[in-house]
Amino acid sequence: MNTHINLIIGRLKKEAKRWRVPIITAMHHRRTDPFRILISTVLSTRTKDETTEAASARLFAIAKTPGALLRLSRSKIERAIYPVGFYKTKAKNVKTISKIILKKYAGRVPHTLEELMTLPGVGRKVANLVMTRGFGLDGICVDTHVHRISNRWGYVRTKTPHETEMTLRRKLPRRYWIIYNDLLVAFGQTICKPVSPFCSRCPVAGYCKKIGVTTHR
């Protein structure tokens, strides 16, 4: 698998042109500012892309900056972002994040993993995605798709997303760090499903060990 990762990434990049682009990646392509990428990424946890996209659009239609968001009531933020998962907690976090960015960072989103992870609702996955898609800095965002598919291929043998990230940081060529999440999220949503993946039309089936796959199409 180590020797084939270049071929795998190459094939996925070619096929990805036909797949739906993950919402945060699409925002990056539209040159969305880091603050809105941060807030949208916080909203996206445990939420489908379509729901996140609509909620972000509603929220940013009434407030686009930390100051503007801080002036909104929590109930108004809740109404704007519903039905994202845990919308009440996320509304609270959005206000707190805005306050911290204004007071501690003079209105600018911090761009280090350590600083980002001090913000409420921001774990390693969110922080890495903000770094890569908000600032273009190297990072490896490991969500459920990246964790599952990397193990399914046999490229890593890990039990948690954190272990997957640390392993990928050691073995994945650095030039692929930023795009790895983009490709595997789209691939996982389209072809490499959690249950019964479409192995018959998978562009990298020949390199996959199918670890944990019991049924496929």
- Residue 45 counted as domain residue: yes
Residue 110 shares a structural domain with residue 45: yes
Confidence of residue 131 (pLDDT cuts 50, 70, 90): very high
Answer with the one of 79, 107, 135 that is the final residue of a domain: 135
Q: 65-120 pLDDT, tens per residue?
A: 999 999 999 999 999 999 999 999 999 999 999 999 999 999 999 999 999 999 99
Residue 157 shares a structural domain with residue 201: yes
Answer with the one of 92, 108, 135 that is the final residue of a domain: 135
> Are 66 and 98 within 8 A, CB to CB?
yes
- Residue 191 counted as domain residue: yes
Please enumerate in sequence order all residues whose Cβ is within 8 A of that of 139, keeping only pairs 6 or more positions apart, or say none.
113, 127, 128, 129, 131, 132, 177, 178
Range of the domain at 150: 2-20+140-207
Q: What's the pTM?
A: 0.92
Mean pLDDT, residues 7-17 taken together: 96
Give the span between the Cα atoms of 186 and 196, in whole angstroms: 16
Q: Does residue 1 surpass a pLDDT of 90?
A: no
Q: 170-204 pLDDT, tens per residue?
A: 999 999 999 999 999 999 999 999 999 999 999 99
pLDDT for 2? 66
